[in-house]
Structure 1
């Protein structure tokens, strides 16, 4: 065997090892539809659906899954904020989550709101939380079992920690990055038309801002670039290339944002959980920033106010 052949074999072995390690790392935060189907009856596995389309859970859900309404269960009913520590702990215990549970989150819309849920779990320090890779759409496309009966598990005993504000971005953090008073990279994951200011929001949505455009210094990587055709996340190697192409390589802290924080939660998951970068999600996103007084806005489309 020649030295060239040995060298090639060594590279192949190294690549195989890297792929294996990547798969193992990803499995810390993702599960496949096959894995979940085989573990549906595991008493330590709790399944939670977080969808946005009304009635989708009631029509049929993964057996044993409980339903979280993101706009009421995962947020504070009075102030614009995530659910309080007490409310979130009560919610999880009612869902049967224990301290030793493995919690699987999934939902519609490419897991946007399930990723939001995973981010809230992270803020409150709940361990062993994973996303169903490909979400509800992949489960249904594969013809896997759905159940229309409401799940009522035995109450759990999980203890939720105080919210870690270091895992969350707020308007002052984003403004500091925009004005280059902090060495933080901003990733706008909205569509190019939203980013450029051509449109204020996707068609048909209600949450709007009076200004269109993006935060100065933000790079645009639409959330869909992180997934394959079936909605599953791309490999870690592919994700690194996607973000490195716009200068995001994990060497600096990152803040992700979108319109209301759900799409950016999906990118937060890719960057933080799969790639291990230092990332915070800005859940105020464009509905806060685009309505704020005294903040700089970049608008490449020339719209200045109210679409004019």
Structure 2
């Protein structure tokens, strides 16, 4: 059985249990349901609120470099700290936070395989106490949007070229346009259903096992190569707002070692509402 290209970015629950009091390690919990942290989290873990902490309060973009440095300081993180992320939804938001940290160049970031669900299933210790750490001095970094982030106009050009690939990680019903509105996510509404032309549909959930851990390298390689998503291509992933697609971006980049993968965080809420943008919609009522 093949191994992951970068196995060091995944840590198991045993590793976290052994290192959660290590001063060189900072655990961060990032959930879709921001109340979960308060009812019980891994001892010493701090909370990352994907809305309040990672996003700009006005424009649709991420926090700037100064705010990022302040966030890292408040979370007692230095550039040398090993940051371990985990959360609900099989680590949707953990990989999203991982992606944002990589935009700012933090070196040692890891994901706890299986996330919050696996930790709880194993009946491991939970705490309601918010750990307290002294703030650090985190230098203001440079945010690099070029290597791992794709923008709308880049996607528009991307679909016109050969040797590229576009992965829609949403559900098949979203991909075909059968499901346009998401009542559970009113902030993600779009006027049009369907998918970006040339995109193949590989739902993010196909990459995880029943316990929430990532499938094996062999299984993942077979899953993506079967749909033409191969390492020789320039790959862009997308979903509705960029969180599910960060999960696929993470596994393609780090577990399978694809060298050119970007996450289109504008995703369908931008594309499906954009004036004049082409849409494929195989589903018709």
Q: TM-score, normalised by structure 2?
A: 0.95
Q: Secondary structure at the match of 2:167?
A: strand
Gaps of 5+ in 2: none
Other-structure match for 1:293: 275
Q: Secondary structure at the match of 1:58?
A: helix
- Please state which structure has a larger fraction of its residues in helix: 1
Q: State yes or no: 1:244 paired with 2:200.
A: no
Other-structure match for 2:68: 88
Alignment of 1:118-133 (within 5 A): 118-133=98-113
Residues in 2 aligned to 1:77 and 1:151: alpha-carbon distance in whole angstroms: 26
The structure 2 residue matched to 1:172, chosen from 117, 135, 153, is 153
Other-structure match for 2:266: 284
Q: Secondary structure at the match of 1:256?
A: strand
Residue 160 of structure 1 deviates from its aligned partner by 4.8
**Preserved contact between residue 186 and residue 255 of structure 1 (Cα < 8 Å):** yes
Other-structure match for 1:41: 21
125-134 vs 235-244, greater mean Cα deviation: 235-244
Residue 54 of structure 1 deviates from its aligned partner by 3.3
**Preserved contact between residue 201 and residue 259 of structure 1 (Cα < 8 Å):** no
Residues in 2 aligned to 1:289 and 1:143: alpha-carbon distance in whole angstroms: 42
Residues in 2 aligned to 1:140 and 1:36: alpha-carbon distance in whole angstroms: 13
Other-structure match for 1:225: 206
**Structure ranking higher on relative contact order (CA contacts 8 Å, 6+ apart):** 2
The structure 2 residue matched to 1:31, chosen from 5, 8, 11, is 11
**Preserved contact between residue 69 and residue 140 of structure 2 (Cα < 8 Å):** yes
Residues in 2 aligned to 1:223 and 1:197: alpha-carbon distance in whole angstroms: 17
**Preserved contact between residue 30 and residue 48 of structure 2 (Cα < 8 Å):** yes
Alignment of 1:194-205 (within 5 A): 194-205=174-185
Quote the RMSD (CA, aligned, Å): 1.4
The structure 1 residue matched to 2:252, chosen from 241, 263, 271, is 271
The structure 1 residue matched to 2:168, chosen from 181, 188, 211, is 188
**Preserved contact between residue 176 and residue 182 of structure 1 (Cα < 8 Å):** no
Q: State yes or no: 1:114 paired with 2:94.
A: yes
Larger gyration radius, structure 1 or structure 2: 1
Q: Secondary structure at the match of 1:28?
A: helix
Q: TM-score, normalised by structure 1?
A: 0.88
35-44 vs 196-205, greater mean Cα deviation: 196-205
- Aligned pair in 2 of structure 1 residues 201, 185: CA closer, same or farther (>3 Å)? farther
Q: Deviations over 1:31-80 (max 9, x none)?
A: 00011001111110100011111311011111101111101100101110
Residues in 2 aligned to 1:65 and 1:153: alpha-carbon distance in whole angstroms: 11
The structure 2 residue matched to 1:153, chosen from 133, 149, 167, is 133
Q: Deviations over 1:184-243 (max 9, x none)?
A: 310000000000000014452211110000000000000011111111011222111110
Residues in 2 aligned to 1:219 and 1:295: alpha-carbon distance in whole angstroms: 18
**Preserved contact between residue 182 and residue 189 of structure 2 (Cα < 8 Å):** no
Residues in 1 aligned to 2:162 and 2:243: alpha-carbon distance in whole angstroms: 24
